[in-house]
Amino acid sequence: MSTTSNNSPQTKQPNRQRPANAEEEHGKLNESDEEMFAQLDSTVFKRFFYYASPYKKQMLIATLAVIGFTLANLALPLLVKFGIDDAINNTNSNLLKVIAISIVGVAGIYWFTNFLQNVLITRVALTVLYDIRADMFLQLQRLALSFSDKTPIGALMARMFGDVGALQEMLESSIEIIGDVLTLFGIIVILLVLDVHLALVTLAIVPALFLIRIVWQPFARRAFLRMRRNSSVVGVYLDQNVSGIRVVQALNRQEENTGIMGGKVHTFFWSAVRASRLGGVLMPTVELMTGTALALVLVVGGGRVLSESIEIGTMVAFLLYVQRFFEPIRTLTMHYALLQRAVASGHRIFELLDIPLEVEDKSDAKPIGDITGRIEFKNVTFGYDPARPILRNISFVAEPGQTIALVGPTGSGKTSITALAHRFYDVQEGSISIDDHDIRDVTQQSIGGVMGMVLQEPFLFSKSVLENVRYNTLNATREDVVAACRVIGAHDFVMQLDDGYDTTLEQRGSNLSVGQRQLLSFARALVADPKILVLDEATANIDSYTERIIQDALRKLLEGRTALVIAHRLSTIRNSDQIIVVQDGGIVEIGTHDELVASTGLYSQLWQTNYTSFDDIADNANDLTGMPASST
Amino acid sequence: MLKRITKLTLEYRWHFTASAVFAFTTAVTSLFIPKLLGQGVDDAIALIEGRNASRGEIESLLLTTALLVVLVSTLRGTTGFGQMFLGETLSQRVSNQLRMLYFDKLQVLSFSFHDRVHTGQLMSRGLSDIEGVRMFVQSGLVQIVRVFVMLVAAAIFMVQIDLQLAILSLSFVPFMAYRSARLRLQLRKVWREIQDALGDLTTTMQENLAGIRVVRAFSAQKYEESKFEVTAREVVELRMNAARTQARGGGAISFSFLIAWAVVLWVGGEKVISDQLTIGELTQFFFYLALLRFPVRMLIMIINSTARASSAGGRIFEVLDIPSEIADDTSSAPLEVTDGVLRFDNVSFSYGDAPALRGVSFEASKDHTVGIVGAPGSGKSSITNLIPRFYDPTHGTVSIDGTDLRKATILSVRQAIGLVEQDPFLFDGTIRDNIRYGDVTASAEKVVAAASIAQIHEFIDSLPDGYDTELGERGVGLSGGQRQRVAIARTLLTDSPILVLDDSTSSVDAGTDARIRGALKELTTGQTTIIIAHRLGSLQHADEIIVLDNGSVVERGSHDELIALNGHYRALWDLQRGRGVEGGE
Ligand SMILES: Nc1ncnc2c1ncn2[C@@H]1O[C@H](COP(=O)(O)OP(=O)(O)OP(=O)(O)O)[C@@H](O)[C@H]1O
Ligand SMILES: Nc1ncnc2c1ncn2[C@@H]1O[C@H](COP(=O)(O)OP(=O)(O)OP(=O)(O)O)[C@@H](O)[C@H]1O
Ligand SMILES: [Mg+2]
Ligand SMILES: [Mg+2]
């Protein structure tokens, strides 16, 4: 649905260099004040119509209903005119009755068409919005993680709800807008038919209205866009504070935050005031014109009545119509603000939909199929910011069935290696393959099928334990879930929860201890039964005793699976087939535990710290020369 | 609900009065126009019939009327603008005030509340529901004045012309009133459902975005889409429902209004025929009826926004009215920390039914360190939750320097405690702002000092933007261990006399961990420290180590004592030193 970027699917050569500022150019939503307003309207409207086009039939019926409705609307003054001119002036009571009854008929049509158009247009509007929202959702599922890394959830939510809401308001009132526009044309026609001379005089002021609007529009649009942005900023801040509420309270930031929020709300307020001032300023203008037009009808029309060019009823009809004529203009003026707001929102929505996917399946990508589980990193260089690589020249091979440990100081790049293995990001240089497939040649979807991950930060959904552990492995039975939980030692505490496996967890699993969350996310990876298992600090928040039990139980389970294990507590990975020591984004040592301990490299130093019973921690720590405090 | 919203609105008395006055003027001037027009028509008729006045006189009369029409229209436009503008700013003021109240409330609500209620739910209230209230103030409260005035004034004008006809033309009003009342009730229910469904949708979205890495790791996009589809569809259906209800109710009202036209034409026409009424007067009636189209149309919108506001307001006030379980009372006094003696006295605690802590007692004081170890779920974090009074114990007392925490003000307790949470949250913003979170006025040196103790300064310094590096949400952009260290620095900056570290170095390698502890020991004095850790090397030097199991203390003592005890602690120690429980590899 979303237009793919100009940088079409991946080129073949693996060491494709992205432009240094690719992120800044494409991967970001614009929340700042500077903005191009060029041909905003037409594109936004075109895209709407694109979304609405599948509903042509409904729209056609709806339009017919609107026409019926408008005709009914327009017929009313006309009937009144006939009533006055033909029936009352000719003292024809019977005709009067007939006309009164036809008004009732018209009212019936009015009612029916009104209902029809409302329901139909709302249906189309809601469906279109649903489609747009679904596309946004889909887009968010496909966008590279580098996008989510930089974009606050609150900002996305503001677009998904605030902006889509503004569109909804506009689309729903589009019934009235369409009706109003039709009414306008209808009235012009009727006026011309009734009396060309008077009509032309009356309508002479309309061009002035257009002129004013042309001047007004750019100001209004900018004001509305700014208002939407500021509103989004308020939402983002609210979201942040709710999510980080524990920190807020622990550090007593309430007052400070109230001040900050107050500032944001204040900015939003003034942008809203500005927008509403601009939105409202058309009103007196329109009223002045209505007044002038009515006055013209009185003076000119009065003259024409006198010269017997028109009947008095015609003049009444004119007055009624001119009032009617400006009524839609007046509501259009009100709606115009809505429309501008919606265009601003539409712009923000399509901006999101148009962000190019940085990590994308090739057009000929196939599922990876059955694999043995061999992973190879070949000269991989990668940086979240391409100008600053944080992994350099990483090469290693994990043979099928092997357990490979990644160790190294914090920030050395271990998690990043696992992220690359799953193609969360694309490498800048080098290649990664699973069996013989370069991971860029297979579908991303299928990588998830063969690789199970326990992420460094356990994340659980606010669903039942069962649904969490089963997650995407929809064919897993309850027994599978229970079995995985038993292996991991989570069964006991799950059974102690109020409803056992059916207990609904709170947000992020906050009604469990952190270790318990970790156990469940571990179980979740096991249930998926993957050929390759990635454990990123999967037992960091778990005591060694429990960990040991897990390891014993896992040993059998891991047979025939390739595992990448990250741990800081070295006792966790001592038995691995290979230990890869990462430092500053490069591999400094590879070997088994015994080999590495025997050498005097980084690993043996790390092991010492882990293991020695130090009497003077500070001294001991300072002895660890050659090991930087953090990766730089 | 509406009453409370109205009350809130009336706090802006002058603002409200001004917009009401404008609304009133707009309504009244609107009604003058038909009067003038009717007069114009009469003048014109007089012109044709050429009776009782000279032509020139009537023509100038017509001209005057025309000018008056222009004047009155302009006046109406100006007051209309005033009403709209003031109404909108008023609505923004009210909604912003509500927003601030809501924000403040969320900030003080207890942890047990935030445990229970999903961010998505709170966001949906903070975004859509407050907007719902705003629309009510804007198009409901202020406009209703206008609608009402127009109806009443039109009635008065009409009655002056012809009583019988006036009653007939307004005959639709009682029906309209009845029907709107019913419609309002129906819509209110539907809106409540919509808002609840929107809350679910927001939650689904929020969760999906927050857990995006898990979604990716499991390639669960399809699954997530289906989850999304279910809730999003529900919202569509409910909104359809609202539209249908509204169209049905609104249609009936409009229909009754049009019937009034027919009646007026018929009865009024007969009256003109029988010379009880002039054509001009009848015309005026139609002008009034034409004018009433607007309030009738408005009314239907007002009903909708009222219905929406009463359920949206309900959802907001629901939150505003929740008393915080942890709050100061009048007898609370500020806590004064002298010796920093933190004492747990036979403390039991549970989040729900199952106890998380059972009869826990221990004491820590200045320059002393208490270490806590235990299996997942044994209650370690629960202990740390009780110290800053995130929750209150069910039994027993937690005290600092002999003062029961429940008797001290929350602010003073929390100021006395520096807690690094197990699952620390970093904010979207620069690293500096994150570290300074607890003290925005902290000097650059202080920030560097705290970061240095946490062993993160060198890393931050190596970044191109240094302390001004922007972090993503929850600290994305840092590795797990870097995040933990920023969180440690953030807490250290507050210089609290009691420091609690809940498994804060789990993602940090042993060397860095040791350096952090070394620096802490060297550079800070007089602190009471509680450390929870799984890496026993981190606890070895604690003055007392307590081993928790299932909420109770099962072993306690110094490292050496516990090793000698040869129990649970000893088993852990052996495991980490490379000897298996069963005695080797
Ligand atoms: N999403 C991101 N965007 C930008 N930079 C990042 C991102 N994630 C990590 N980094 C940086 O990349 C480097 C490597 O991080 P990584 O998470 O791979 O370390 P790690 O070895 O897993 O460390 P730890 O043991 O602390 O978890 C760090 O310097 C970190 O600041
Ligand atoms: N917010 C909460 N609501 C309900 N129950 C909770 C909540 N937080 C923790 N629990 C439960 O209370 C018990 C103790 O949890 P606590 O977080 O204190 O464990 P812990 O010792 O810190 O474990 P870990 O080492 O895994 O962090 C657990 O059984 C947990 O499921
Ligand atoms: Mg990591
Ligand atoms: Mg804990």
pLDDT, tens digit, 9 for 90 and up, residues A270-314: 988 888 888 778 778 878 887 888 888 878 877 777 777 777 777
- Contact indicator for B2, B309 with CB cutoff of 8 Å: yes
Question: ∠ CA B509-B513-B517 to the nearest 5 degrees?
Answer: 175
- Whether B470 is in a domain gets the answer no
- Contact indicator for B320, B105 with CB cutoff of 8 Å: yes
Pairing of strands B470-471, B429-430: antiparallel
Secondary element (H or E) of residue A139: helix A93-142
Give helix then strand counts, H and E, for chain B. 21, 12
Residues B296 and B350 in one domain: no
- Whether B468 is in a domain gets the answer no
Q: Which residues of A touch B269 (CB under 8 A)?
A: 83-84, 87-88, 93, 96, 100
- Whether B489 is in a domain gets the answer no
Inter-chain residue contact A294 with B73, CB threshold 8 Å: yes
Q: Which residues of A touch B514 (CB under 8 A)?
A: 609, 614, 617-618, 620-621, 624
Environment class of residue A117 by beta-carbon count within 10 Å: exposed (0-12), middle (13-18) or buried (19+)? buried
Q: Find where tokens 């980080």 sit.
A: A244
Mean of per-residue pLDDT scores for chain A: 80
Q: Which residues of B touch A306 (CB under 8 A)?
A: 44, 47-48
| Selected residue with higher pLDDT from A611 and B254 | B254
Residue B200: predicted pLDDT: 87
Ligand lying closest to the C-alpha of residue A424 = 1
Report CA(A248)–ligand 2 centroid distance (Å): 21
Residue A590: predicted pLDDT: 92
Q: How confident is the model at residue A22 (pLDDT cuts 50, 70, 90)?
A: very low
Residue A17 DSSP class: P
Helix, strand, or coil (residue B323): coil
Residues B350 and B239 in one domain: no
Handedness of CA B251, B254, B256, B259 (dihedral sign): negative
Task: Please name every residue paired with B502 in a beta bridge, in sequence order, or none if there are none.
Answer: B532
Q: Could you write out the DSSP letters of every residue in B470-488? A: EE-GGGBTB-HHHHHHHHH
- Give yes or no for residue A482 having a pLDDT over 90: yes
Nearest CA in chain B to A584: B459
Specify the number of domains making up chain B. 2
- Contact indicator for A448, B218 with CB cutoff of 8 Å: yes
Residue A622: predicted pLDDT: 40
| Euclidean distance between CA atoms B4 and A626, whole angstroms | 67
Residue B3: predicted pLDDT: 82
Q: Could you write out the DSSP letters of every residue in A31-95? A: -SS----TTHHHHHHHHHHHHHGGGHHHHHHHHHHHHHHHHHHHHHHHHHHHIIIIIITTT-HHH
Residues B286 and B404 in one domain: no
- Contact indicator for B236, A130 with CB cutoff of 8 Å: yes
Residues belonging to chain A: 632
Tokens matching residue B451: 């970061």
Q: How many CB pairs under 8 A join A and B?
A: 596
Spatial CA neighbour of B559 closest among B535, B540, B573:
B540
Helix runs in A143-205, H state only: 145-150, 153-157, 164-194, 196-203
The last residue of one of the domains, among B270, B290, B320, is: B320
CA separation, residue B405 to residues B348, B424, B507, B530 (Å) = 15, 24, 32, 17
Q: Could you write out the DSSP letters of every residue in A376-420? A: EEEEEEE-SBTTB-SEEEEEEEE-TT-EEEEE-STTSSHHHHHHH
Worst-scoring range by mean pLDDT, A330-344, A345-359, B6-20, B468-482?
A330-344
Report CA(A176)–ligand 1 centroid distance (Å): 54
- Give yes or no for residue B293 having a pLDDT over 50: yes
Spatial CA neighbour of A84 closest among A63, A100, A61, A68:
A100
- Whether B478 is in a domain gets the answer no
Chain centroid, CA A336 distance in Å: 26
Inter-chain residue contact B508 with A410, CB threshold 8 Å: yes
| Euclidean distance between CA atoms A552 and B8, whole angstroms | 64
Residues B333 and B306 in one domain: no
- Contact indicator for A194, A318 with CB cutoff of 8 Å: yes
- Whether B507 is in a domain gets the answer no
Out of B380, B474, B509, name the one closest to residue A410 (CB): B509
Residues B302 and B283 in one domain: yes
Residues B359 and B312 in one domain: no
Helix, strand, or coil (residue B509): coil
The last residue of one of the domains, among B320, B342, B363, is: B320
pLDDT, tens digit, 9 for 90 and up, residues B104-128: 888 888 888 888 888 888 888 888 8
Residue A627: predicted pLDDT: 39
- Whether B531 is in a domain gets the answer no
Range of the domain at B401: 328-416+541-585
Out of A153, A408, A513, name the one closest to residue B473 (CB): A153
Residues B302 and B190 in one domain: yes
Secondary element (H or E) of residue A441: none
The last residue of one of the domains, among B268, B292, B320, is: B320
Q: Find where tokens 């469906």 sit.
A: A127
Residue B227: predicted pLDDT: 85
* Dihedrals phi, psi of A432, to nearest 5 degrees: -125, 130
| Selected residue with higher pLDDT from B353 and B557 | B557
Residues B337 and B290 in one domain: no
pLDDT, tens digit, 9 for 90 and up, residues B390-423: 899 999 999 999 889 989 988 889 889 999 988 8
**Cα pseudo-dihedral A243, A249, A253, A258, rounded to 10:** 60
Which residues have a Cβ under 8 Å from the Cβ of B579 and sit 6 or more positions away? none
Cβ B338 under 6 angstroms from ligand 1: no
Tokens matching residue B38: 């009717």
| Euclidean distance between CA atoms A284 and B406, whole angstroms | 61
Inter-chain residue contact B376 with A515, CB threshold 8 Å: yes
Residues B299 and B335 in one domain: no
Instruction: Assess A57–B contact: CB distance below 8 Å, yes or no.
Output: no
- Whether B198 is in a domain gets the answer yes
Out of B62, B425, B476, name the one closest to residue A243 (CB): B425
| Euclidean distance between CA atoms A252 and A632, whole angstroms | 33
| Euclidean distance between CA atoms B236 and A188, whole angstroms | 38
Amino acid in position B53: A
Q: Does ipTM top 0.90? A: no
- Whether B435 is in a domain gets the answer no
- Give yes or no for residue A19 having a pLDDT over 70: no
Q: Which residues of B touch A114 (CB under 8 A)?
A: 247, 250-251, 254
Which residues have a Cβ under 8 Å from the Cβ of B122 and sit 6 or more positions away? A238, A242, B106, B319
Residues B6 and B46 in one domain: yes
Q: Which domains does chain A have, with CATH numbers?
A: 44-353 (1.20.1560.10), 375-624 (3.40.50.300)
| Selected residue with higher pLDDT from A482 and B296 | A482
Q: Which residues of A touch B540 (CB under 8 A)?
A: 613-614
Helix, strand, or coil (residue A628): coil
Mean of per-residue pLDDT scores for chain B: 85
Nearest CA in chain B to A314: B41
Atom of ligand 2 nearest to the CA of B374: 21
Nearest CA to ligand 1 atom 26: B481
Residue A611: predicted pLDDT: 53
Cβ A503 under 6 angstroms from ligand 2: no
Residues B309 and B398 in one domain: no
| Euclidean distance between CA atoms A518 and A469, whole angstroms | 11
pLDDT, tens digit, 9 for 90 and up, residues A166-175: 888 777 777 6
Residues B172 and B138 in one domain: yes
Secondary element (H or E) of residue B497: none
Report CA(A517)–ligand 2 centroid distance (Å): 10
pTM of the model: 0.82
Q: CATH no. for residue B110?
A: 1.20.1560.10
| Euclidean distance between CA atoms A460 and A488, whole angstroms | 16
Percent of chain B surpassing pLDDT 90 = 17
Q: CATH no. for residue B362?
A: 3.40.50.300
Tokens matching residue A105: 């008929």
